Structure 1
């Protein structure tokens, strides 16, 4: 049994039997021995000192707000507290104590920063010392474990490192005792995002104490954790799961995971503690192909990869270049791509990214292009539909993964819209329009459908879900077909038993510019308000066109929506103060208790209203099928067809090409002058080991996991594909023709 297994076993056997104070005592029983080695004259090796100096320099780097520091000195009370902080509320949704911790770090930085006006200031030193003594006296414990084992220890060890020689012996001992609650033996140190961040905090403890053994242990834990797993952590598809619910957390815990690694990789570079090159390569791959592929242009978070954090302010703000810069500094692997991402995140160059990826462990599909980004978020029986609303955040996320489809040209189309969102009209979803959502404690439920997946060759692709709602008596078969300049949304078999209407939402975004529609063969600009429109051919808003294959009835709002943050988040900052946003919302009404209803529309980004009609007349897209059994689209301009077989069946791709699937699957076909050039297949159910396709065209070739045999004109080509299994089940298989 390795040392991590021992830790976990120890934790499982003891933590739940002891009060918090007892656990803290157990993990700190050697604290005095550690603090004995803190004195600056008892230094450890040169590498440790080099890392220590780098960490402290980094903590001192942020600018000092002189006005803020002056105000903190003036406003502190004699007991070391501040009058505007509620020290009584230690609830999961309160804990304003974090402000006190941040004040101490800010003041410590001002006191120690070489170019600070307050460097060595006696009054400031007295103030920060009083504030620290106040905290150490009360040792505030929050109802949320995260603050006790991560948030507070992280702040505390940073404060200790910054103040360092200005600490009293008592402050050193008691401060390190609190910092030491960030421990590999504690509850939060589970495999996943938190383990690495806790290890990073422990590393700082080792640096503060000048303890080589702690630092060596931390680096080994980090190196061991940079790995692909089918459990918590980094998945084979390069998405990230913090928990065992199989809900994506790439842009939350997963980014913290990567950031902690990259930060430490830079700090320990050039020392004997340097991380292995294999670990650094995997980390770079995860950043470029996982994190950046889940972001608009690699810079703006895609809300399709978000969870309860959507109920926090400014959550879609652009990401800094720090993570990319750290990776670039720590590794020589994929340097050009990292350098490009640094420039993109700094706004120095225009993005030129073009890639499509299906994260099969997370039921999440992204389509990245130089001038737009689109995604699809789904759920299946292999995991929960959504993250639990931990700490009473994300209180209306019930339908968020029911096939949500987001499109962005700027990365800011949905910025802070969430207090005023209609959460039963999330873009892309088909939802029963109930009088109210179920209680927030009922958000997370196990998915019900096996057939959920995507097919992609890395450039183009499709996503599909055989939707069975976990909240309503509703079924629907929904698919999205992505091409270079546009994508097609199809729905079929929409059936519901509830006594309320069912709606499919095209989009619900911030209102930007006017809304233009063509209906009854006439174009018009809609005034602000609510509109029920008949025989609509297309609608255009914010340089995105939604084109219907046949004129249809459409509901649309382009007016001011109201709401408040308190409705979606119960933290103390989230008040009932009214929020107003101008919103564009368009949806299709399938009626009450629909039976086998459907829809079909094309989404074309970067298309102004005065260009839509010309595009529509020459649109290269042809819908080959849209039934509960089969959905398919062909792009006549590029000769790419994408097909979803919900059951064994056949479809005529072109006049002379018939494709037959012997099992439910997804297929993408690329044809050329010599017939089929490439086939891409996948098994959304993850149940098949092999797949057989039959095509009337000649297609010969073989690969490690497939064989195509021409049987003559009567039999055509028989293709046998060995599908990925285990952690790779759900991944697409690409079949290249022998003679293109």
Structure 2
């Protein structure tokens, strides 16, 4: 049944298969053109078919018949608990349902209309046992009349939550008008249209008097556009339909601040809250609704920016869905809703994307369907994936899964910094990491309408590690996890208010779309706790660094390495330095000199390894925790929920001053692999201070540094605060630079590297010099933290510079060897018109470098030089 809730996502209308017209520039004079009545009627009947499933579906399909049976049961059943059963039909009634009797809470009005909508759906669906039931019809129409007279009419003024008046209630009412159209008098239709016009006259603005100048954006604007469009169809009002359609144009535009979609894939609602996975889903669902409703009509959407919607699919949604689950770090306060898990949110957006695919260009259609098929196949959290969906959605998903021509997408291998919403994703086969941060631009969390009451640290550097344990962040996680000890966060154990940070240095760089580095200067405004945090994301490891951790208050400060939900017995094996720790709940221990640890996962491919450079002192805790959904959301159940957890934490003590930490997450590694890694780690920490946090990944040729202040580390010098990543692969050196503060105009970066040729660069990057060092100036004004890239490559003309650079640095230690190498290089340079002689010369040089590697030539330098030689040989061959 529909529960009384204030959440706007408590009820999401799902749409049928749509057809978006080919985009053309189209103009219409709505004042002078007269439309045939049957066009309105045709659109209304199309919308009714979308609501009911039409008449072409197979009622013998067990899932469809189960859906219809469930619908009937929700309306009436032998227990007398259906909406119709419990409806108050007395003449002197003061409410329609006893649990929705309030005259002052508009949420009750919204839910009342939704229950009538369920009854109307059963009355209108051809294979439903209540189809055209005259007693049911009378009670539905009487209920509509009662609500119009007593709860929702054009003479009233708003009170309580504006959303119910302007979106929730009219959204339900519009469908009631369509379903019951032939059973309503002209006066009844006019009355209900009038009340919609009263509270949703124009999708572009808020109606409530005190906010009348507020411009609607994002999901709210699209919601209102849908309401006005269907109201226009029912009322046969071409001008209203045109107003609804035209209101979408602003939504299609990319934004640079405030609400909407950003070019980096971010989506913001409520000014500063990352919301791809909640309001973003609502927007896409209802946008698809509007596009479908108006397709093929005189009011079809022809805005040339409509094509941006396809870009949103791949930039704003695909990277945030892991095996069917929408990442919680972009779901805002929706994480606290008992009925809305990460997987249910994922299924909702997947069905919307499939509808969008039906009208997309063929290449886009296939790509969308391929990724949706992958997600549906991988998401094993549903007993029946189509249960609870509409008939049209069932048909759409079954058609996809039975279509052998559509192959499921491969697993994502990607990494991306969403600099406009302080979020980062990093994908590798069978695992992914989500990172949530906040800044002076992005809020720490959202907690409106008595929701997300304990979301205090969800945006404070929380790390969401996804693997084959698909229900890790659902199945009771949020009401039971210790909300002041979330993984990745540095915490003083106190609750926090919704806030932005005074700090602007939050963001990072991505390189080659495969690796990312992120950082956050944090300073909690309602406490004295501050510091710097960085994360370095590579192929099989995530390095986490913290420094400058200071708090003047008399509170214990911790950094939470892990707080993982365990299996039902809570006895997942924990191994520390090769020894198994006690598995009973209630165990706790202060462990010294920890070099590595391993936690057994709940399912296969969900183990996690931990490496602690230089060893660490940790506090371990295995506990059963009990909470309720009511404690984190006023609309949730007060029934107790218990889950088991294992946490590992650095204890920085009371009133720490410049405390630090370092650890490496090793997703999906078993205990032997974790131990092996600890003996020969793939990373080296170059610096961990409040000025610079830097790491080198030894096998990938990556050096990454977050400069919170100007400085130098290894071969990189930054004259400004910046995030810098350098990768040397083959003969190509890639430099990626970003301004996480989003406040600077230019960054100057110097690399102590031999002279190289510019292979490619972004237009914002200017090369100041290539010798004796490489120096670039990067224009970051208005970049919104975007990564700027320049690529250098060795060429034959600069090969002598590389060898000479090694000599000057002392990496070639023998004069004779150096002279011999330079002679070979000179010969190669003299033969640039003869490919065969060049290849022979490069091979001779290669052989000498290999022979001297680790002897008279530094091993790391010889590897770099050999990469350059291989690159040059491949260039000649190709």
- TM tier, smaller: 0.7 to 0.9
- Name the count of aligned residue pairs: 676
Residues 670 and 448 of structure 1: CA distance in aligned 2, closer, same or farther (over 3 Å) = same
Which residue of structure 2 lines up, in the alignment, with residue 223 of structure 1? Answer: 249
RMSD: 2.5
> Distance between the aligned counterparts of 2:688 and 2:575, measured in 1?
24
Out of 419, 426, 436, the position equivalent to 1:377 is 436
Contact (CA 8 Å) 1:564, 1:576: kept in 2 or not?
Answer: yes
Out of 76, 89, 102, the position equivalent to 1:78 is 89
Which residue of structure 2 lines up, in the alignment, with residue 357 of structure 1? Answer: 416
Structure 2 runs not aligned, ≥5 long? 1-33, 54-63, 77-81, 153-157, 209-213, 378-400, 402-407, 602-606, 795-870, 872-878
Which residue of structure 1 lines up, in the alignment, with residue 711 of structure 2? Answer: 649
Which residue of structure 1 lines up, in the alignment, with residue 481 of structure 2? Answer: 421
Which residue of structure 2 lines up, in the alignment, with residue 665 of structure 1? Answer: 722
Contact (CA 8 Å) 1:455, 1:462: kept in 2 or not?
Answer: yes
Give the Å deviation of 1:145.
1.0
Which residue of structure 2 lines up, in the alignment, with residue 137 of structure 1? Answer: 149
Which residue of structure 1 lines up, in the alignment, with residue 448 of structure 2? Answer: 390
Residue 403 (1) aligns with residue 403 (2): no
Residue 55 (1) aligns with residue 47 (2): yes
Give the Å deviation of 1:189.
5.8
Contact (CA 8 Å) 1:266, 1:330: kept in 2 or not?
Answer: no
Give the Å deviation of 1:49.
4.0
Which residue of structure 1 lines up, in the alignment, with residue 262 of structure 2? Answer: 235
Between structure 1 and structure 2, the one with the greater Rg is 2
Contact (CA 8 Å) 1:294, 1:302: kept in 2 or not?
Answer: yes
SS of the aligned residue for 2:136 comes to helix
Out of 496, 513, 527, the position equivalent to 2:584 is 527
Residue 177 (1) aligns with residue 194 (2): yes
Give the Å deviation of 1:197.
0.8
Which residue of structure 2 lines up, in the alignment, with residue 153 of structure 1? Answer: 170
> Distance between the aligned counterparts of 1:562 and 1:668, measured in 2?
43
Contact (CA 8 Å) 1:44, 1:211: kept in 2 or not?
Answer: no
Contact (CA 8 Å) 1:149, 1:183: kept in 2 or not?
Answer: no
Give the Å deviation of 1:200.
0.8
Which residue of structure 2 lines up, in the alignment, with residue 619 of structure 1? Answer: 681
SS of the aligned residue for 1:453 comes to strand
Residue 208 (1) aligns with residue 208 (2): no
Alignment map for 1:235-634 (pairs within 5 Å): 235-244=262-271, 246-276=272-302, 278-297=304-323, 299-313=324-338, 314-318=340-344, 319-320=346-347, 321-332=350-361, 334-347=364-377, 349=408, 352-387=411-446, 389-410=447-468, 411-415=470-474, 416-434=476-494, 437=495, 443-457=497-511, 458-512=513-567, 514-519=571-576, 521-524=578-581, 526-534=583-591, 535-536=593-594, 537-542=596-601, 543-571=607-635, 574-634=636-696
Which residue of structure 2 lines up, in the alignment, with residue 693 of structure 1? Answer: 749
Contact (CA 8 Å) 1:489, 1:602: kept in 2 or not?
Answer: yes
Structure 1 runs not aligned, ≥5 long? 1-41, 653-657
Contact (CA 8 Å) 1:44, 1:212: kept in 2 or not?
Answer: no
Contact (CA 8 Å) 1:532, 1:553: kept in 2 or not?
Answer: no
> Distance between the aligned counterparts of 1:97 and 1:139, measured in 2?
7
Contact (CA 8 Å) 2:499, 2:525: kept in 1 or not?
Answer: yes
Residue 166 (1) aligns with residue 195 (2): no
> Distance between the aligned counterparts of 1:375 and 1:241, measured in 2?
17
When structure 1 is superposed on structure 2, of 71-80 and 229-238 the one drifting more is 71-80
Contact (CA 8 Å) 1:152, 1:179: kept in 2 or not?
Answer: no
Contact (CA 8 Å) 1:679, 1:736: kept in 2 or not?
Answer: yes
TM-score (norm 2): 0.73
Contact (CA 8 Å) 1:476, 1:495: kept in 2 or not?
Answer: yes
Residues 165 and 47 of structure 1: CA distance in aligned 2, closer, same or farther (over 3 Å) = closer
Out of 775, 791, 803, the position equivalent to 1:718 is 775
> Distance between the aligned counterparts of 1:196 and 1:133, measured in 2?
28
Give the Å deviation of 1:146.
0.6
> Distance between the aligned counterparts of 1:54 and 1:506, measured in 2?
54
